Structure 1
Amino acid sequence: MIDFEVRELRYFRAVAEELNFSRAAERLGMAQPPLSRAIRQLERRLGVQLFERTTHHVTLTVAGLTLFDEAERALDAMSAAARRTRRAALTTPTLVVTAKAGVATDLLRRIVEAYGALPDAPRVEIAVSGYGEQADMLRDGRADLALLGSPFDRRGLDIEPLISEPRVAALPSGHELAHRTALSCRDLAGLPMPQCPGSTASERDYWAGRDCYASQANESAERRPDVPVSGPVVHDSSQLLEAVALGQAVALIPTSLAERNLRDDVAYRPVHDASPYSIAIAWRDCTRAYWTARLVRTAVELTAGQDGGKLAEIA
């Protein structure tokens, strides 16, 4: 049996992400020669080549790409085990739950209040997180549960849907589309849209309203709208709405966000074929803790009035 060392996996991940041994060594705070030796020793033990090396380029082999994915999961699992073990030793048991600021944190506060009314419920700590951070916080143990907003990154997680709502187009009040009563996703094609840092291609498709075409096999490539490649980078909903008001972009946003931000310089119009915005509660698929299950059950009862299918698996 081949055992990995945490140190080796961290070394490998650094080189795989930088694709440059010098930059990886600098990032790790070490010299390059011992880093190169450590990677070669790992390759010899595994009996595979992880990197193709030339004078000017370093690339991952097929085996290296596999270890890249596996190493991420392994390192997250080890970090999660350490964090959760420390939390279990606290004098006051604590569950950490997280959500992105806005509609999700408002919902999370209501869930936590209802949960806190249960007899002997442990203390709950709410951690407000940024765009796309929630799933990673579950995987590496910084959080026990999270509220995820569409689109979901489900890898290694169990998810229970809570609420779903339509999305609307947010437009500068003077925009030509603002004079119409309803729109389609195709009407928005090619217009600049806000870009979230670190978002994936599928996430960009969702926020641009292009995801509705992905499942239409009879939609020819020529007829599909172009992916919007321009638009200001935004970090939160307030910045997004300011970009819209200034005429720098249009956006597809949840109806509840529009209702909370009525303003003269932004017009909201329904988009009949836009996929909905959903919020789900998520936890690691290896979690079986009783109080985690109770918090999930509380969330489902508060939002839907009935238990969900996943609850029995962790109760």
Structure 2
Amino acid sequence: MAVESRPLRYFVAVAEERSFTRAAGRLGIAGPALSRAIRKLEAETGVRLFERSTRVVELTEPGAVLLAQVQPVLEALDAAVRRTARASAPNRSLLLAVKADADGGLLADLLAAAAIEPDAEPIAVRLCGWREHTRLLRTGEADAALMFEPYDLDGIDADVVALEPRVAALPTGHALAPASRVLLADLGIAAEGIDERAERDINEHGVHDLAQLLALIGLGTTTTVLPRSVAARYPRPGVTYVPIEDCPPAALVIAWPERSRSRGVAALVRAAAAVAESRGMSTAIEASR
């Protein structure tokens, strides 16, 4: 049985909106046409995909299975189309996703080293938001990314190119702010829970970028842990950075889609390794393993 991608996109829209009316508006089609397409898809698959009521539309168990399988497939298809279009562009360039001031201080050296690599391609930097890198890689909106761990591993390959110490970002009035260094236990953080703590801070306070998080720290609302290079670029009144003696280092990685066969991406990855080695970072990485 072959199913076209269009009805599957319709199905995903209804599943995400939980409403045929909202999904039809999002898709720009008439409601009856959407309903017919879903009924046809149900007939083709032989299962009921939605439980319909006057108030809400809910996925059935088979519908939930289909949604989980279809979303990454459609995402990969869209990514393939974007990459194909870029490959045919007359002045194409490799897109490197980087969050501003979160490159470990390597970006300029990386771009210079990549330019002289065999198979090098022109590189355009795509500035992105917090934890947005892997989405751009999966959707084909970026070819590679320079980012700190953690990240969503699904469909992504990566090499660590630098390790650096982390610091605690504390309100200046915090009891630990005058200290020359602190321990994770002083902060109430377990070594294996550092990244979970950062995610909790982001989700709990609804922040969208580092500037917002630092503003909350300055107000005494929360604390966090940052790579030292990031803290160095963000001095803030009311925020004090204190080294953490027993904190695992932050890992900066160069990442790319796991199915990538781009020679330009391979050249960029080699350049990142060369920059890390020239700065003595590769030795630190091996020593930490």
Q: TM-score range by the shorter chain?
A: 0.7 to 0.9
SS in 2 for 1:81: helix
User: TM-score when scaled to structure 1?
Assistant: 0.77
Partner of 2:286: none
* Helix, strand or coil at the partner of 2:177: helix
The residue aligned with 1:45 is 44
- State the Cα distance separating 1:145 from its structure 2 match: 0.9
Shift of 1:95: 1.2
2:188 matches 1:208: no
- Distance verdict in 2 for CA 1:20–1:66, change over 3 Å: same
Alpha-carbon distance in 1 for matches of 2:108, 2:66: 39
Matched, 1:184 2:184: yes
Structure 1 pair 277/68, CA: closer, same or farther in 2 (3 Å)? farther
Matched, 1:303 2:276: yes
Query: 46-55 or 178-187, which moves further after superposition?
Result: 178-187
C-alpha separation in 1, matches of 2:110 and 2:266: 13
Counterpart of 1:184, as a letter, is L
Cα drift, residue 115 of structure 1: 0.7
Are the equivalent residues in 1 in contact too, given 2:102–2:148 (CA < 8 A)? no
In the alignment, is the contact (CA less than 8 A) between 2:104 and 2:230 conserved in 1?
no
Aligned partners of 1:209 and 1:274 also within 8 Å: no
SS in 1 for 2:225: strand
Residues 127-152 of structure 1 show CA distances to partners (whole Å, capped at 9, x for unaligned) of 11111221111111111111232211
The CA deviation at 1:110 is 2.2
In 2, Cα distance between equivalents of 1:228 and 1:136:
21
Q: Indicate the residue corresponding to 2:86 in structure 1.
A: 87
Q: Distance in 2 between matches of 1:45 and 1:253?
A: 51
1:19 to 1:186, Cα distance in 2 relative to 1, 3 A = farther
Percent identity between matched residues is 40
- The whole-number CA distance in structure 2 between the counterparts of 1:303 and 1:24 is 48
Shift of 1:233: 3.0
- TM-fit CA distance, 1:229: 9.5
CA distance in 2, matches of 1:100, 1:230: 19
The amino acid across from 1:78 in the alignment is L
Once the two structures are TM-superposed, the CA of residue 185 in structure 1 deviates from its matched residue by 5.2
> In structure 2, the residue corresponding to 1:151 is in which secondary structure?
coil
**Cα pair distance change 1:286/1:209, threshold 3 Å:** closer
Measure the CA separation in 1 of the matches of 2:77 and 2:104: 28
Query: What secondary structure sits across from 2:176 in the alignment?
Result: helix
User: Could you say what secondary structure the match of 2:103 adopts?
Assistant: helix
Q: How much has 1:239 moved relative to structure 2?
A: 2.6
Q: Displacement, 1:282?
A: 1.3
Contact 2:118/2:267 (<8 A) preserved: no
1:43-192 matches, cutoff 5 A: 43-104=42-103, 106-118=105-117, 121-180=120-179, 181-184=181-184, 187-188=187-188
Q: Is the 8 A contact 1:163 1:279 kept in 2?
A: yes
The yes-or-no answer on 1:254 pairing with 2:227 is yes
Deviation string for 1:10-54 (max 9, x for gaps)? 211111111122221222222322212211211111122222333
For structure 1, the 5+ residue unaligned runs are: 190-203, 211-226, 309-315
Matched to 1:51, the amino acid is: F
Query: Using a 3 Å threshold, how does the CA distance of structure 1 residues 8 and 165 change in structure 2: closer, same or farther?
Result: same
Task: Report the secondary structure of 1:292's partner residue.
Answer: helix
The answer as to whether partners of 1:185 and 1:271 remain within 8 angstroms in 2 is: no
CA contact (8 A) 2:164 2:227 kept: yes
Q: 1:229 to 1:101 in 2, by over 3 A?
A: closer
Shift of 1:207: 5.0
Give the drift of 1:186.
6.8
Q: Which secondary structure state, in structure 2, belongs to the residue aligned with residue 163 of structure 1?
A: strand
Amino acid at match of 1:99: V
Secondary structure of residue in 2 paired with 1:286 = coil
Q: 1:292 aligns with which of 249, 265, 268?
A: 265
The RMSD of aligned alpha carbons is 2.8
Tell me which amino acid in the other structure corresponds to 1:256.
S
The letter for the 2-side match of 1:86 is A
Which amino acid is the alignment partner of residue 73 of structure 2? A
Give the 3 Å change call, closer, same or farther, for CA 56–100 of structure 1 in structure 2.
same
- CA distance change for structure 1 residues 130 and 42 in 2, over 3 Å: closer, same or farther? same
Bigger shift: residues 19-28 or 178-187: 178-187
The answer on 1:242 being equivalent to 2:215 is yes
Question: CA deviation digits over 1:184-235, x for unaligned, max 9?
Answer: 257347xxxxxxxxxxxxxx9725169xxxxxxxxxxxxxxxx669854332
Do the aligned residues in 2 keep the contact of 1:135 with 1:153 (CA within 8 Å)?
yes
- Partner amino acid, structure 2, of 1:36: S
Q: Which region of structure 1 is more displaced relative to structure 2, 263-272 or 142-151?
A: 263-272
